[in-house]
Amino acid sequence: MIKIGDILRGGYEGKEVSIRGWVYRCRSSGKITFTVVRDSSGIIQCISKEGEIPDDLYEQIKGLTIESSLELTGTVSKDTRGVTGYEIKVKGGKIYQRNESFPISRDKSEEFLLDIRHLWLRSREFTAVLKIRATAFNAFSEFFNREGFYNVQGPMMVSAQTEGGSTLFEVPFFDQKAYLTQSSQFYLEALIFSLEKVYTIAPSFRAEKSRTRRHLTEYWHAEGEVAWIGNEEMMQIEERMIEYIVSAVLRDNAEDLALIGRNVEPLKKVKAPFPRMKYRELIEKAQSWGLNMKYMDDLGADEERAITVHFDKPVFVTHYPQELKAFYHRPDPESPDEILCHDLLAPEGCGEIIGGGERIWELEILEERMRSMNIDPKAYSWYLDLRRYGSVPHSGFGLGLDRLIWWVCGLDSIRDAIPFPRTIRRITP
């Protein structure tokens, strides 16, 4: 048994091979049937001729429907008329299942395609996106493993929010209330006291009430936390990490990027260092570009799109006013109304893919900050303990992996970056 992709790389002309897969297309003309077969690695045209193979097999092949599963044996030849430059002259084979007509065709609505996502995933475009996604997940871990980080795991069911109450999912937990985690950050913070440099890839949950092109209610969150470093050093690690992931995709997924029609020129420009800009400067720039924005406005999807079309690399926005961000961000000692944080905005109109920064590590400052935001310190007693016993300066970040894939693949919606999207109105399939 051989992968179709191996045949397409050449060297099998004149040889007999067996392939296994699914019918991608088929048509018969006279005594010849053309079956395009798909497997995980590619597609190839297979030609069966009546009289040259057993009659009952020919009848079966002739009657196949799209997505029927089969195995075919035959001789490879180079043929520029075949869809992918090669074809197989069929000698024998076996049909695993001839199915009813496949429910997906070109003219289906977006909602219908989401309803049958479990079948739509088989499309060549989706397969390409999923291969790129696999590269990105692996490259993320590979980068941090090489940098001496430890791969750790936090819980998904938690007792307190990290990123604000409006997007919390509540779940019953015996006789208590629990939440699905919005971020593993606080657990990573606890783990730096033993491991110093840690990362995790885990789901995060946000009860996002709006339907946007870039929000999921369950998404894959790649987070890191590092002892002894500040905001600027954290950004330096992140820009190298993004460059590493994008280069891995360009190197390993050239065919997949071509198949989904992604222009790779903008991706080739993703090289560290990335520009940095304080929030205050960004607002001034935005005003000079004619955007209706003032200091203290949060950046929504529309603002970020309008801003990032002006950049051809990802850009870090730092020093947000503290009111715009969660309570744990460390105020800049030189300008205490601003915090030592960063968002990384992806170019081409995509916007935020990373949020991170330096954490408040002194107990008194953290307690004071919580009081001023009406947050009950009791709910965070274990988190405050981290500031009681050997506290150290530290920084971290969270990268939305689905957002990263959405940008790298140039997709319309983040829903097309994940196999089984969860959004405000969708929990199946």
Answer for which of 26, 216, 241, 267 binds ligand 4AD (CB under 6 A) is 216
Per DSSP, helices labelled H in 253-351 are 254-259, 265-268, 279-288, 301-308
Per DSSP, helices labelled H in 101-149 are 110-115, 117-120, 124-146
- Write out the binding residues for ligand 4AD, residues 119-178 only, by CB under 6 A: 162-163
CB nearer ligand 4AD, residue 270 or residue 353: 353
- Number of chain positions touching Mg ion (CB under 5 A): 1
Segment lying near ligand 4AD (by CB under 6 A), choices 70-78, 83-91, 122-130, 179-187: 179-187
CB nearer ligand 4AD, residue 306 or residue 417: 417
Using rule CB under 6 A, residue 8 touches ligand 4AD: no
| Residues 379 and 370 sit within 8 Å (Cβ to Cβ) | no
Overall size of the chain counted in residues: 429
Segment lying near ligand 4AD (by CB under 6 A), choices 77-85, 126-134, 149-157, 216-224: 216-224
CB nearer ligand 4AD, residue 58 or residue 316: 316
Question: How many other CB atoms are found less than 10 A from the CB of residue 75?
Answer: 15
Name the minimum Å distance from CB 316 to Mg ion: 13
CB nearer ligand 4AD, residue 50 or residue 208: 208
Using rule CB under 6 A, residue 222 touches ligand 4AD: no
Query: Is the C-alpha dihedral spanning 14, 92, 1, 123 positive or negative?
Result: positive
| Residues 353 and 314 sit within 8 Å (Cβ to Cβ) | yes
- Write out the binding residues for ligand 4AD, residues 368-407 only, by CB under 6 A: 396-398, 400, 402-403
252 binds, among Mg ion, ligand 4AD, none (CB under 5 to 8 A by kind): none
Q: Return the amino acid letter for 269.
A: K
Question: Element (H or E) spanning 303, and its range?
Answer: helix 301-308
The token pair that represents 60 in the structure block: 């079966």
**Closest to 290 (Cα-Cα) out of 278, 307, 305:** 307
CA 245-248-253 angle, to 5 degrees, is: 120
CB nearer ligand 4AD, residue 17 or residue 241: 241
CB nearer Mg ion, residue 355 or residue 421: 355
- Number of chain positions touching ligand 4AD (CB under 6 A): 23
Name the minimum Å distance from CB 221 to ligand 4AD: 6
Using rule CB under 6 A, residue 356 touches ligand 4AD: yes
The token pair that represents 202 in the structure block: 């885990």
Using rule CB under 6 A, residue 353 touches ligand 4AD: yes
Q: Return the amino acid letter for 376.
A: D
**Closest to 217 (Cα-Cα) out of 226, 207, 227, 232:** 207
- Write out the binding residues for Mg ion, residues 329-368 only, by CB under 5 A: 355
User: Based on C-alpha coordinates, what's the Rg of the chain?
Assistant: 26
Answer for which of 68, 74, 192, 223 binds ligand 4AD (CB under 6 A) is 223
Query: Is the C-alpha dihedral spanning 128, 129, 132, 133 positive or negative?
Result: negative
CB nearer Mg ion, residue 256 or residue 303: 303
| Residues 159 and 178 sit within 8 Å (Cβ to Cβ) | yes
DSSP reduced 3-state for 73: strand
Residues that bind Mg ion (CB under 5 A): 355
Residues that bind ligand 4AD (CB under 6 A): 162-163, 182-183, 185, 206, 208, 215-216, 219, 221, 223, 352-356, 396-398, 400, 402-403
